[in-house]
Amino acid sequence: MTTLALTINGRAYGPMDVRDDLTMNDFLREFLGLTGTKFGCGAAQCLSCAVIVDNPDGTSFTKPTCVVAAVSFHGKKIRTVEGHAKDGELTALQKSFIEHFAFQCGYCTAGFLNEGQVLLERLAKNPVARADLEKTIAQELDGHLCRCTGYIKYHEAVRDVILADPKHYLI
Ligand code: FES
Ligand code: FES
């Protein structure tokens, strides 16, 4: 057993003792009831289980949870799909996913949403040229697998959020 304390969606959890072999995915879903984070391949290949990790320097990245021990998140600040909407108001990216019918079964959606949000936040700090936008989106979402093959709609949804506010995201 190891002590775990972390912040999820702005709320502190722990300290609590958890098994060393407890995965982060099981911790979120089974211990905390945060079932928006999915379990797909279970082999760090599809990223349906990815959550956002917020670094102290203000940067963020996504990380799978299926094969990663919960205790490795000790002291971290993370965001899950449950943390995006505020006071019942969906984010621009969530609305765009819906408007584009980006998801079908929705199993991969939390991972794509987290990755897309990280991209938006990164571009807000480091905008890219319009000519590089498609490549940037493709690179960011690369690695996320959608069994329903909704890739193009996801890309379009992310792109539309960026193009709706070009001064914010583009050079
Ligand atoms: S379930 Fe974690 S990467 Fe597929
Ligand atoms: S919407 Fe079904 S796996 Fe992506």
* Ligand 1 atom with least separation from CA of 47: 3
Distance set, CA 98 to CA 38, 95, 115, 146 (Å)? 19, 5, 16, 16
User: Strand runs (DSSP E) across 64-145, as ranges?
Assistant: 77-79
Q: What is the per-residue pLDDT across 16-48, written as a single tens digit (0 to 9) for each? A: 999 999 999 999 999 999 999 999 999 999 999
pTM exceeds cut of 0.95: yes
Nearest-CA residue for ligand 1 atom 3 is: 44
pLDDT tens, 98-124? 999 999 999 999 999 999 999 999 999
The phi-psi region of residue 33 (left if phi > 0; otherwise alpha if psi is between -120 and 50; otherwise beta) is left
Gap from CA of 156 to ligand 2 centroid (Å): 15
Tell how far the Cα of 52 is from the centroid of ligand 1, in angstroms.
Answer: 14
Ligand 2 centre distance from Cα of residue 4 (Å): 32
Question: Which residues does ligand 1 sit against, CB inside 6 Å?
Answer: 39-42, 44-49, 64, 66
